[in-house]
Amino acid sequence: MPKHHPIRDCLAVMPRYAADFQCTGAACEDTCCAGWKISIDELTLKACRHVKQAHLNDRFKQFIKPVAKPDRRVSGDPARIDLVPETQNCPFLEEGACAIHRDLGEDYLSNTCATFPRRTRDLAGQVEYALDLACPEAARKALLADDAVDLIEAPITIRPATVTTLAPQGKLTPQHINEIRSFCFQLMREGGLLPWQRLVLIGHFCHQLDPIIAENRTLDVSRFIDDFVGQIENGAMLAALNEAAPNYWGQAQLFFKLWQGQAERKNSPTQAMVQNAVAAGFGVDTIGTTPPDWDPVVRNYQTGLQRMAYALEATPVLVDNYLLHEMFRETFPFGTSSPHHHFLGMISRFGLLRLMLAGVCNAPETPSPAMLVRTTQVFNRLYPHPSFSTQAVQALEFLGFDKPGRFAELLRI
């Protein structure tokens, strides 16, 4: 039994792929033990102070640093592990494996290390569980199989301290929240529409839902959904989609600038390989913040999108699985300050991922499904939600792409 961190077993709703996930350890090509700040919770800090093994104790004293209260994250963790300056790796990483886990056991891992890439939340007694696609193994399992994101119920073991809860959503009950989430899932699975068309419809739905929650109004969810379905079925909304022209210049400039913002952050050979491939696909010799010559960038973006469509024929569920997975993992559309804001964050990240895939697909040879998955994984690693989404939404709002009438312009290809 653990003596430092309480655990409990429970049943959880999860995507099918998550039920048999296993960390690949030293075989991982993009370890989570590199490049990220690692916070230390109070229970782990106390446990580390009593470690007897000299080879670990010396590193605890050297690399575990206190965090002042004003600088602590939402969790309030009182300490952090400093990375080794020369390698930007965790000081406990040895030959691709964690020395703490190996020599002391999982109970000595911080909540951060013990749970990643796992995300667990409690929605009115219903436990939900998913993985972060910044993990290479999670991305492989989630993005390639047809049934990977089908929801199932399976047993898991959790640390209760790491389980998050959903903030209140006006007068919506948990049942209402799940009905709305289920409807968004159904829209995203609508086989008669392209992904960008489904996203635009979901955007209109979120925009109409926003004032109801903001004004704390009572909502008849069934009637609200039926009314929106009626808007789709009368044909006017779909006709407007079909008439909308893609704004390739706006898309390329916005998402390329967002990509540039983190493009120099490469903490592993895998990340460097992907980012260099994206840069090469856009004809950019060096990765930086200097504005490029936009004419060739936009041309390469359009060419890359065409080649991406061909490359995705070898892995046709990748885009749909990515979107459905993120919607479940983020409790869409209730994972940020409002449904509309959450939608803007989702499409900004989707647009950036699509740009990176387009860049990679401009390679002389069509990229393999493994390369497309790797690109998606690196994207999730370097442009995480919600920190990146906040910045990206501000850019969308500044450019006016936060208006429903411009969703199709931004998303259509």
Which residue range is the domain that position 220 belongs to? 174-242
Q: For residue 53, tell me if it sits in a domain.
A: yes
The pLDDT assigned to 267 comes to 73
Q: For residue 199, tell me if it sits in a domain.
A: yes
- pLDDT at 349 > cutoff 90: yes
- pLDDT at 155 > cutoff 70: yes
Q: How far apart are CA 294 and CA 300, in angstroms?
A: 10
Q: For residue 361, tell me if it sits in a domain.
A: yes
Supply the DSSP symbol for 25: G
Q: What distances in angstroms separate CA 50 from CA 46, 54, 99, one per listed residue?
A: 7, 11, 16
In whole numbers, what is the pLDDT of the chain averaged over residues? 92
Q: For residue 193, which amino acid is it?
A: L
Per-residue pLDDT band for 179 (boundaries 50, 70, 90) equals very high
The pLDDT assigned to 298 comes to 97
Last residue of a domain, one of 194, 220, 242: 242
Q: Do 233 and 262 fall within a single domain?
A: no
Per-residue pLDDT band for 141 (boundaries 50, 70, 90) equals very high
Per-residue pLDDT band for 313 (boundaries 50, 70, 90) equals very high
Per-residue pLDDT band for 390 (boundaries 50, 70, 90) equals confident
- pLDDT at 12 > cutoff 80: yes
- pLDDT at 350 > cutoff 60: yes
Per-residue pLDDT band for 263 (boundaries 50, 70, 90) equals confident
Q: For residue 396, tell me if it sits in a domain.
A: yes
Last residue of a domain, one of 225, 242, 259: 242
Q: Quick one: tokens of 306? A: 């065409």
Going through 58-180 in order, the beta strands assigned E by DSSP cover 64-66, 79-81, 93-94, 97-98, 118-123, 126-131, 151-158, 164-165
The pLDDT assigned to 410 comes to 96
- pLDDT at 1 > cutoff 60: no
Q: How far apart are CA 229 and CA 224, in angstroms?
A: 9
Q: For residue 93, tell me if it sits in a domain.
A: yes
Q: Do 364 and 273 fall within a single domain?
A: yes
Per-residue pLDDT band for 41 (boundaries 50, 70, 90) equals very high
Q: Do 219 and 252 fall within a single domain?
A: no
Q: Do 397 and 302 fall within a single domain?
A: yes
Q: Do 212 and 248 fall within a single domain?
A: no
Q: Mapping DSSP to helix (H, G, I), strand (E, B) and coil, where does residue 46 land? A: helix
Q: What are phi and psi of 82, to 5 degrees?
A: -75, 140
Q: Quick one: tokens of 92? A: 């406990």
The pLDDT assigned to 2 comes to 62
Q: Do 105 and 180 fall within a single domain?
A: no
Residue 300: exposure state from Cβ atoms within 10 A (0-12, 13-18, ≥19): buried
Mean pLDDT of 40-65: 91
The pLDDT assigned to 73 comes to 76
Last residue of a domain, one of 242, 273, 295: 242
Q: Do 393 and 260 fall within a single domain?
A: yes
Across 345-368, b (16+ Cβ under 10 Å) vs e yields: bbbbbbbbbbbbbbbbbbeeeebe
The pLDDT assigned to 168 comes to 83
Let me know how long the chain is: 413
The pLDDT assigned to 262 comes to 83
Mean pLDDT of 12-40: 92
pTM of the predicted structure, to 2 decimals: 0.94
Contact indicator for 65, 80 with CB cutoff of 8 Å: yes
The pLDDT assigned to 286 comes to 62
- pLDDT at 251 > cutoff 60: yes
Mean pLDDT of 33-40: 87
The pLDDT assigned to 346 comes to 95
Q: What are phi and psi of 18, to 5 degrees?
A: -75, -20
Mean pLDDT of 149-156: 97
Q: Do 336 and 358 fall within a single domain?
A: yes
Q: Do 391 and 272 fall within a single domain?
A: yes
Mean pLDDT of 18-32: 92
- CA-CA-CA-CA torsion sign (328, 331, 333, 336): negative
Q: Do 269 and 394 fall within a single domain?
A: yes
The pLDDT assigned to 291 comes to 77
Contact indicator for 225, 186 with CB cutoff of 8 Å: no
Q: Do 236 and 252 fall within a single domain?
A: no
The pLDDT assigned to 170 comes to 84
- pLDDT at 211 > cutoff 60: yes
Q: Do 216 and 335 fall within a single domain?
A: no
